Chain A
C-alpha cells in the first residue's frame, strides 16, 4: 500500500523542473500540475513549498504562467507574493495588448 502524500511527492518532483536543462514543455507541464496539487497539501507543507513553486512558475514565459490557478494557494497576507502575481498578470495583459496592436498594424 502506498504511504505518505502522493500530492507532496509529485509537487517535489515537479520542482525539479527548475533545473536549466529541462525542456519548455516539461516545465510547463510540471507547473500546471503543481498549481493544481497545491490545494491538496496541508497548510504547513504548502507554505513551505510555495516559494519554490513561485520560482518554478517564474521560469515560464509571461504568457504561460498559471497565475489564476496559483492565486488561491497564496496566503492573502503575503504582500510580496501577491505583488508578484499582480506583476505577472499585468505582464500578461501588456503582452496581449502588444499582440493585438501588432495585428491591427498588419
Chain B
C-alpha cells in the first residue's frame, strides 16, 4: 500500500534530519515538516531509536527543540532503553577522560531530550549530579530534567540537594530554579524568593493591590483579607511547593518559613504570604 502524503513528507524530512551532511537550509525545511507532526516523529523515534541517538550533539539539540516542551505521555519503552544505554556509554567515556568534550556534550544533549519524552526518572542520582555539575556545558536545558527527576524520586539524595543549592547559588533570578530549590532544599532565602515570585504574580490584580496597600500601611482587614489569604493557599502553585517541601523535609521547611518571616520585617507583603503558608502547613505564626 502506498504511504499517505503526510507519511511520505515526514519520511523525507526525517531522512534529511538524520543525514549528517545535510545543509542548514535543508535542515530548516525538514524541521518545518517535523514540527507539525510530533506524533509521527515520536512513533519513528520509538521504532528506530538508534538512528536518532547516534546524531551529533548539535543535531540532538535540534531534535530536542522539535519536540514539544510538554512531556510525551505515550509510553516509549524502546527509546527510553536506547537513550539510557547511550547515556551510559557517554558516561563511561567521561569516567575515563573527564575532559572529553564530545562525550560531555552528547551526554548533556541526551539528558536534555529525556524530559521531553517523559523518561528522566530512571537516571541514577550520582550520574545526574556528575554530568549536570560539569561546568563545560550550559545547564539551563537540564533544569526540566532535574525537575522531572526530583518529582519522581521517593527521596532526594544529598548529592542532588547539593547540586540544586549550587545551581541556585550560581544563578540569581531564575524562577524555575527558585521553585525547585524551595522544596528540594528549603532555606530562608529560598522561601523569601518564592514569596517574592508569588507577589510578582499577583501584582496588578485589583484586590491584591488594595490588600497590599493595607498591609504596607499596617492595617489588617480580616473580612476583606480572608478570600485573598485563602487564594494564597488554594490557588497558588507556590503554596503547593511549600506543602511539598514540608512533606519532604518536615520541620526543616517550617523553620525555613519562620526564618524567612523574621528576615523580612521590612517587607509586610512578603510577611503576609510567608505567614499564610506557615499556617497552611500547621505552624501558625
Contacts and interface: CB of A to CB of B under 8 A. Distances in A.
Interface of A: 1-2, 5-7, 9-10, 13-14, 16-17, 22-23, 25-27, 29-30, 32-33, 36-37, 40
Interface in B3-29: 4-6, 8-9, 12-13, 15-16, 19, 21-23, 25-26, 28-29
B37 interface: yes
B22 A5 contact: no
Contacts of A27: 5
Given A10-B12, A30-B6, A33-B33, A40 B28 contact: yes
The 10 closest A-B pairs by CB, nearest first: A1-B21, A7-B29, A6-B26, A6-B29, A26-B5, A36-B32, A29-B6, A2-B22, A17-B5, A6-B16
A26 B4 contact: yes
B30 interface: yes
A37 B29 contact: yes
A12 to B, nearest CB: 11
B29 A29 contact: no
A13 B9 contact: yes
Contact of A10 (B9, B19, B21, B23): B9
Nearest to B28: A40
Contacts of B28: 7, 40
B140 interface: no
Given A9-B12, A29-B9, A40-B28, 13 more contacts: A2-B23, A5-B25, A6-B16, A10-B33, A13-B5, A13-B12, A26-B4, A29-B6, A29-B37, A30-B5, A36-B32, A37-B29, A40-B32
The main secondary structure of chain A at its interface with chain B is helix
A30 B23 CA distance: 23
Given A26-B4, A29-B36, A1 B9 contact: no
Contacts of B12: 6, 9-10, 13
B111 to A, nearest CB: 29
A17 B8 CA distance: 11
Contacts, number: 70
The main secondary structure of chain B at its interface with chain A is helix
A34 to B, nearest CB: 10
A14 B26 contact: no
B21 to A, nearest CB: 3
Contacts of A23: 4
A27 B9 CA distance: 12
B195 to A, nearest CB: 43
Which residue, of B9, B30, B36, has the highest number of chain A Cβ atoms within 10 A? B9
A5 B29 contact: yes
B9 A30 contact: yes
Contacts of A10: 9, 12-13, 29-30, 32-33
A6 B30 contact: yes
B22 A1 contact: yes
Nearest to A36: B32
Contacts of B13: 6, 10
B26 A7 contact: yes
Contact of A7 (B15, B19, B25, B36): B25
A25 B40 CA distance: 14
A7 B16 CA distance: 11
A93 to B, nearest CB: 26
Which residue, of A1, A9, A10, A26, has the highest number of chain B Cβ atoms within 10 A? A10
B121 to A, nearest CB: 34
Which residue, of A14, A23, A27, A29, has the highest number of chain B Cβ atoms within 10 A? A29
